[in-house]
Structure 1
Amino acid sequence: MTDYCIGIDLGTTYSCLAYVDEDGDPVIEKNFEQEETTPSVILFDDNGQILVGSQAKEMALMYEQDRAVTAIKREIGSNYVKEIDGKTYNPTQLSATILKKLLDDFNSNHCCDIKKAVITVPAYFGQNERDQTKTAGMIAGLEEVTLINEPTAAAISYGYNGKKEGKERVLVYDLGGGTFDVTVLEIENGKFNAVATDGERFLGGKDWDKAMAEIIKEKVAEESGTDIDFLESDPEVVKSLEYDSEVIKKRLSTSEVTKGTLTVDSHKYVYSVNRKEFEDMSEDKLMQTIDVMDRVLKSKSMTIDDIDVVILVGGSSRMPQVKEAISKKYPTANIKAHDSDLAVAKGAALFAKSISESPTAITEEAPTEEERRIIVKNVLSKTFGLKATYEDGSEMISNLIFRNETLPIEKTKRYYP
């Protein structure tokens, strides 16, 4: 039986699985529905079935809103609990349900039983979120789970196999469905060294969907004479808006104007949305991503001229406003879109292949060209310290290790009474 090297992009809105073929190339595995990406949507239907993916996303329109789970990745590490049909599910279990769908489809197609995989996580994830992601993989049937940061995986996909000669400093702008990361990495001879990273946990394509929903509500309310509060209180309208907003948003990435329909009280209303009004409504979110880019560069006293290429990944980076905003802020930036939806999974698969060939690939010195190993060095995504509370209730925080310091790291500090 072939020992497949698997990489999984466990996304907020879409997930996908890649493997490395016999030629050493990363390949996206299509799911049972013959799609390259699987919606990260779970539906508990009224027959006791748990559906995942496109079927769940489409059928959710026919059920009460609380029977569907979306964007569960945003809850990893939290105390969120989903109660349905007398049972409770935490974010780890729900994430495992999505992973199991991906693995089951792969195992069925290849007549195998995958037990090892590399799963990607946002660079800003702390240890708790990382541990829960690993646990989700175990619940899904894996016995060995390795994690890799999403921007690093995207950079591996971009720069692996000697396709880029010499040393290159890249900035990965990763705007996914629910999260946003910026990471600067230096790439050379199979070594991927993170220099600086930052991100926003609650910023992604779903937030652009909400902006689109606001536009649609305003238009339909005006056309129908209906109060916006009424639209927001109608469960059927809310479900339709959640689904249609994403569709209309995606259309505006290739069209200047598009139309849609929304049914209110059995009457269908036609509305028109143009790209300009959508970009105006979502500009504040876009500027948040630019602010994160700026923070990352300033954290290491860099300018955009110190970056060889800005790599756009994540499905939401396809929106024309993204490249336009970066170009406006940084006129000299060399911006490249790289396999927006699939780069992260492909990079994870390549990393899985490297681990399978050399388990010490993460920490050893640079390999020879023939060995083709990938060496990854990460930086700390958060600052860590100690908090002391005095008898009078006042507090003191003493930071020990700081964000963007290279891992692994160990520090000691002596405190006196």
Structure 2
Amino acid sequence: PALSRPAVGIDLGTTKSCVGLFRDGRVEILSNRQGLRSTPSCVAFTESGRLLGEEAKSQAALNSPNTVFGAKRLLGRVSGAAAAPQDPHRWPFLVLQAEGDARVQVSYKGAEKSFFPEEIVAMILGHLKEVAEEHLGQAVTHAVVTVPAHFNDSQRQATRDAGVIAGINVLRILNETTAAALAYSLHHPDNGERNVLIFDMGGGALSASVFSIDKGVVEVKATAGDSHLGGDDFDNCLVSFLMEEFLKKHRENISHDGRAVWRLRTACEAAKRALSSCQKATVSVDCLYRGIDLQADITRAQFEHLCAKLFQRVLRPVERVLRDAKLSQSQIDDVVVVGASTRMPRIRELLQDFFGGRPLNQCLNADEAVASGAAVQAAILLEDRSDVARNLLALDVASVSLGVEASTGKMHGLVKRNAAIPTVATRTFTTLHDHQPDLLIRTYEGERSIAKENHLLGRFLLKGFSPAPRGMSLLEVTFYIDADGILSVFALDKIMGSANPVIVDARKGRLSKEQILRLAEEHEKYRAEDRAQKWKLATKNYLQSCAFSVKRTSEDILNYFTLQAKKKMVEKCQQAFSWL
């Protein structure tokens, strides 16, 4: 049956994404056109148009400079911090720095074009939206979108902007571990109060969160993570090793050949997956470079040795989150693993050893748990009448401390990391000069005592208050962090009160409303072009099918036609084939 306001849960992953729908008291993971329940977070640009998901990934080896993946790692990052230092060198597409922002440059329809990361992510979200619409047979405009628990304000705002560009009303930006905890609560409704650690490791990031779960109330105690530790990094490690081996053996450097690197990456990813269940895997690529084949056997022990530095980082967020939650390993009742990368045996061994050999809880589908929890949250926010949705509640926390720069240059704290959200902090500011016309407040995220050593969240310029001698203006500034973990700032002139509203000019280094509106219009234009291209292809296939059918029919009933009629039918078929 049609839903009055269908809302989906979207697990927006670095390498793969998934979409779920909650209805009739249960979660359904929706399959894409290829019948798969997860979709590559991949966009390709060609001479004729865009390709998304599986179609984009399948042609990547032949079109690597114009196939964009891992765009989630670029979200909300300003110039100089667009990604980890090694990322741009590993990507076959070009990442530019323009006006303080990272942009992806590709060749699209014969012309060079640059895209904001938000645009690329919007294309992925739009594709998942279409998957849901095809399944439901009606428009889908509401969604809960998940992000890593340690995403900062800029990254969360960029994710929300991407949703707006894609034509989605983002009901909530939900932490991936919180979504997994909701899915866990769905499977364990009556277990009493429990301390649960959710360990989520996907393709691009690692998140760990501790929850107190009691009678459907999911309360986050602490959260931590590593934004550049995921399955992709293990793939990169294996790719680098085999490229070096190829160079030593054949004196050929393939790093500048995008097609060869992509084919090697695909083979390495397959080998990594195989090593999760086997002790040995073979990386085999025919004619990798200049007619030279690559074939190498990799054992699990060898793989773990190559990636030793990455494995050493796995437990750091776990140690930190337990320290922040003020809990010991023995006080954790359940350790739940989600995310495809947790299938690596070494990851599970490290976690089990850390928790004293205790078995890990693998009750959740590693690939679908986050999308399931997001779908449940969407149902809760839309006030679904089912008992399941009504009996669940998620209480989240701020992933990073928030503060302002004091006149001494130190960080003056406003909201501490792991404080419950939504939350409000109010401070009173004054001017340093006589008749000062405005006041600039710099807001930072981070844990360092010196403000400039933290991440600059934004500059808030207060204007319109009453000019007065130094120290006489009193401005009450309210910092509000909403349930999405996104900051808003409001100000009031305490001398004049509401009679003199203070204008807050927020400069957070993100897309302006005008830019978002323009990009949303462009997104719709791209979608219209895609529909036209699909219609053209479908019509062409139909004509080809008709021509073959007529040709086959004319051969089967040849004796029933006159010579002239047979000749005319054959000519028409040949004309169709020639045109095609």
In the superposition, the TM-score normalised over structure 1's length comes to 0.90
- The equivalent of 2:392 in structure 1 is 374
- The equivalent of 1:61 in structure 2 is 61
Change (3 A) 1:290 1:272: same
Amino acid at match of 1:304: Q
Out of 108, 111, 115, which is 2:141 matched to? 115
SS at match of 1:277: helix
Change (3 A) 1:225 1:379: same
Is residue 95 of structure 2 the alignment partner of residue 81 of structure 1? Answer: no
SS at match of 2:313: helix
Out of 282, 287, 308, which is 2:307 matched to? 282
- The equivalent of 2:410 in structure 1 is 396
Instruction: Check whether the contact 2:75–2:158 (CA below 8 A) recurs between aligned residues.
Output: yes
- Between 1:326-335 and 1:120-129, the stretch displaced more is 326-335
Is residue 164 of structure 2 the alignment partner of residue 150 of structure 1? Answer: no
Q: How does 1:265-304 map to 2 (within 5 A)?
A: 265-304=290-329
Is residue 349 of structure 2 the alignment partner of residue 350 of structure 1? Answer: no
Is residue 181 of structure 2 the alignment partner of residue 182 of structure 1? Answer: no
Cα separation, 2, equivalents of 1:289 and 1:398 = 31
Amino acid at match of 2:105: E
Cα separation, 2, equivalents of 1:300 and 1:346 = 26
- The equivalent of 2:481 in structure 1 is none
Cα separation, 2, equivalents of 1:402 and 1:143 = 29
- The equivalent of 1:313 in structure 2 is 338
Q: How does 1:115-134 map to 2 (within 5 A)?
A: 115-134=141-160
Cα separation, 1, equivalents of 2:357 and 2:300 = 25
For structure 2, the 5+ residue unaligned runs are 78-100, 433-580
Cα separation, 1, equivalents of 2:187 and 2:53 = 33
- Between 1:165-174 and 1:332-341, the stretch displaced more is 332-341
Q: How does 1:25-64 map to 2 (within 5 A)?
A: 25-47=26-48, 49-63=49-63
SS at match of 2:318: helix
CA offset digits 1:308-361 (Å, max 9, x no partner): 1111111111111111011222215441122111000001111111222269xx
In the TM superposition, what is the alpha-carbon distance from 1:135 to its structure 2 partner?
Answer: 2.0
Change (3 A) 1:301 1:105: closer
Q: How does 1:191-210 map to 2 (within 5 A)?
A: 191-210=217-236
- The equivalent of 2:121 in structure 1 is 95
CA offset digits 1:215-273 (Å, max 9, x no partner): 32244344x4325xx12233332222222221111111111101122312112121111
In the TM superposition, what is the alpha-carbon distance from 1:152 to its structure 2 partner?
Answer: 0.4
Amino acid at match of 2:276: S
For structure 1, the 5+ residue unaligned runs are 360-367
In the TM superposition, what is the alpha-carbon distance from 1:143 to its structure 2 partner?
Answer: 3.2
Cα separation, 2, equivalents of 1:370 and 1:295 = 33
Cα separation, 2, equivalents of 1:83 and 1:216 = 28
Q: Which has the larger radius of gyration?
A: 2
In the TM superposition, what is the alpha-carbon distance from 1:413 to its structure 2 partner?
Answer: 5.4
Cα separation, 2, equivalents of 1:283 and 1:329 = 17
Change (3 A) 1:150 1:144: closer
- Between 1:164-173 and 1:11-20, the stretch displaced more is 164-173
Instruction: Check whether the contact 2:146–2:176 (CA below 8 A) recurs between aligned residues.
Output: yes
Amino acid at match of 1:16: C
Same amino acid, percent of matched pairs? 28
Instruction: Check whether the contact 1:219–1:271 (CA below 8 A) recurs between aligned residues.
Output: no
- Between 1:164-173 and 1:175-184, the stretch displaced more is 164-173
Amino acid at match of 1:206: D
Instruction: Check whether the contact 2:384–2:390 (CA below 8 A) recurs between aligned residues.
Output: no
Instruction: Check whether the contact 1:179–1:202 (CA below 8 A) recurs between aligned residues.
Output: yes
- The equivalent of 1:253 in structure 2 is 276
In the TM superposition, what is the alpha-carbon distance from 1:126 to its structure 2 partner?
Answer: 2.0
Give the superposed CA RMSD: 2.1
Aligned residues: 399
In the superposition, the TM-score normalised over structure 2's length comes to 0.65
Instruction: Check whether the contact 1:137–1:145 (CA below 8 A) recurs between aligned residues.
Output: no
Instruction: Check whether the contact 1:17–1:28 (CA below 8 A) recurs between aligned residues.
Output: yes
- The equivalent of 2:265 in structure 1 is 242
Instruction: Check whether the contact 2:193–2:214 (CA below 8 A) recurs between aligned residues.
Output: yes
Instruction: Check whether the contact 2:182–2:394 (CA below 8 A) recurs between aligned residues.
Output: no
Amino acid at match of 1:243: T
Amino acid at match of 1:81: R
In the TM superposition, what is the alpha-carbon distance from 1:164 to its structure 2 partner?
Answer: 4.1
- The equivalent of 2:354 in structure 1 is 329
Amino acid at match of 1:37: S
Amino acid at match of 2:33: F
